[in-house]
C-alpha cells in the first residue's frame, strides 16, 4: 500500500494484515522511521476524531507533524488542492492526510508522489473509518463470514456506509440497510433494505450513522420522529440478540440516532471504535510510509481469517 484513497486500494489480505498490525500497536509494539519523516494533515472539512487520532498516531510513531490549518493557509488566497499538495511535497512531506468535501478529490492528485491517505471525501469514502470498524468487528467475533450487519440511517449521504458496505460484503458478511425512503441509496438492491425491527432481531452488529445535515439540501427535513422510527431506543436495545453490538462512527446526535443512556451501554462499541482508530491509523501510516505490501509478515491472522 502506498496511497489509501478508497478501500479498493486494499486487498482482503492487506485489510487483515492491517488489522493485525493495529492490534500489535495496541499491545505496545514500537515502530519509528529511521530518518526524520514529515507528514501534514489537510482538513478542508470539520473533524474531531479523524484529525486528532491521526495526529496522535503520527506523534506516537515519531513523525514530524507539520502544523497546517486550512483556515490560515494560502487556500484562502485561492490555492488549489493540487498546488497545496505539490508545495508540501516539495518541502519534503512524505504523507498527506486529506479530508475534503469534494467526492474523489484524490483524482486531481495523480502526480503527487507523497502518500495520500484519505480522511474522508464528501459523501464518497472514509477508508480509515472502515478499517477501524473492521478491526472492532474482528476483535469481537474473530470472523466476518456469516455475520449479519445492518447499517441504519442516512445511507445516501454517508461515506461510512459506502466504505463499510462494500468491504463487509467482500469479507463475507451479509449487509442489510434500514433507512427512511428519502435517504435510501438506489445503488443497493431493494431487497437489502429491511425494517428496524428485523434489524434488531437478527443483526450481530447494528451500525448507526449520523444524520448528515451538512449534506442535505432541504435543511433538517426528515428528522421528525427519526428516533422513534429508526433510532436505537431503550426498548430496541433490550430486544437485540445476545452478544450483538452497537456501533456508530460519531459524532453522535444523542436522542436521535441513539438514546443518550445507551451511548456507553454494554453493547456499545462507540468509544472502542475511537480507541481502535488510533492504532489503525498508526498501522496505515507505517504501511504508507514503508510501502509495505502487506500480507507477508502477517500470516497468522490471514490463516485464522481464512479458516473462520
Ligand atoms: N466521522 C464520520 C465522517 O467523517 C462520520 C460522521 O461525520 O458522521 O464521515
Q: What is the CATH number of the domain that holds 99?
A: 3.40.50.1370
pLDDT digits (tens, 9 = 90+) for 3-18: 999 999 999 999 999 9
Cβ of 269 closer than 6 Å to ligand 1, yes or no, is no
Question: Considering only 99-108, 143-152, 180-189, 212-221, which range has the smallest mean pLDDT?
Answer: 212-221
> What was the pLDDT predicted at 287?
96
Cβ of 160 closer than 6 Å to ligand 1, yes or no, is yes
| Number of domains composing the chain | 2
Residues 236 and 279 in one domain: no
Residues 291 and 253 in one domain: no
Residues 282 and 249 in one domain: no
Distance CA 89, CA 85 (A): 6
Cβ of 120 closer than 6 Å to ligand 1, yes or no, is yes
Residues 141 and 267 in one domain: yes
> What was the pLDDT predicted at 295?
45
Does residue 45 surpass a pLDDT of 70?
yes
Domain presence at residue 224:
yes
Distance CA 95, CA 64 (A): 11
Which residue range forms the structural domain that includes residue 58?
7-126+274-301
Residues 109 and 178 in one domain: no
Residues 297 and 179 in one domain: no
Distance CA 41, CA 66 (A): 8
Q: Report, as an integer, the average pLDDT of 39-50.
A: 96
Residues 151 and 246 in one domain: yes
Ligand 1 centroid from CA 179, angstroms: 17
For residues 206 and 267, the answer to whether their CB atoms sit within 8 Å is no
Greatest alpha-carbon span in the chain: 56
Does residue 28 surpass a pLDDT of 50?
yes
Cβ of 249 closer than 6 Å to ligand 1, yes or no, is yes
Residues 90 and 54 in one domain: yes
Domain presence at residue 95:
yes
Q: Which three cell numbers stand for residue 173?
A: 458478511
Amino acid at each position: 500500500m502506498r496511497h489509501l484513497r478508497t478501500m479498493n486500494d486494499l486487498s482482503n489480505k492487506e485489510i487483515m494484515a492491517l488489522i493485525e498490525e493495529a492490534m500489535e500497536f495496541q499491545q505496545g509494539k514500537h515502530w519509528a522511521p529511521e530518518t526524520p519523516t514529515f507528514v501534514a494533515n489537510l482538513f478542508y472539512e470539520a473533524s474531531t476524531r479523524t484529525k486528532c487520532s491521526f495526529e496522535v498516531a503520527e506523534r506516537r510513531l515519531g513523525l514530524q507533524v507539520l502544523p497546517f490549518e486550512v483556515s490560515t493557509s494560502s487556500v484562502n488566497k485561492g490555492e488549489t488542492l493540487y498546488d497545496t499538495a505539490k508545495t508540501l511535497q516539495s518541502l519534503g512531506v512524505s504523507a498527506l492526510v486529506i479530508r475534503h468535501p469534494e467526492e474523489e478529490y484524490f483524482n486531481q492528485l495523480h502526480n503527487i508522489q507523497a502518500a495520500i491517505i484519505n480522511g474522508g471525501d464528501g459523501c464518497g469514502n472514509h477508508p480509515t473509518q472502515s478499517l477501524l470498524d473492521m478491526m472492532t468487528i474482528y476483535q469481537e467475533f474473530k470472523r466476518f463470514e456469516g455475520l449479519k450487519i445492518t447499517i441504519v440511517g442516512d445511507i445516501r449521504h454517508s461515506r461510512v456506509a459506502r466504505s463499510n458496505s462494500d468491504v463487509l460484503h467482500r469479507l463475507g458478511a451479509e449487509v442489510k440497510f434500514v433507512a427512511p425512503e428519502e435517504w435510501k441509496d438506489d445503488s443497493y438492491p431493494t431487497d437489502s433494505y429491511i425494517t428496524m425491527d428485523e434489524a434488531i432481531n437478527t443483526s450481530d452488529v447494528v451500525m448507526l450513522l449520523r444524520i448528515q445535515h451538512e449534506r442535505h439540501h432541504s435543511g433538517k427535513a426528515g428528522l421528525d420522529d427519526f428516533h422513534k422510527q429508526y433510532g436505537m431506543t431503550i426498548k430496541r436495545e433490550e430486544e437485540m440478540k445476545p452478544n450483538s453490538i452497537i456501533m456508530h462512527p460519531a459524532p453522535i446526535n444523542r436522542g436521535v440516532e441513539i438514546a443518550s443512556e445507551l451511548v456507553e451501554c454494554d453493547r456499545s462499541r462507540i468509544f472502542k471504535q475511537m480507541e481502535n482508530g488510533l492504532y489503525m491509523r498508526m498501522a496505515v501510516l507505517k504501511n504508507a510510509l514503508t510501502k509495505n505490501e502487506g500480507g507477508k509478515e502477517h500470516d497468522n491472522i490471514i490463516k485464522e481469517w481464512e479458516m473462520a
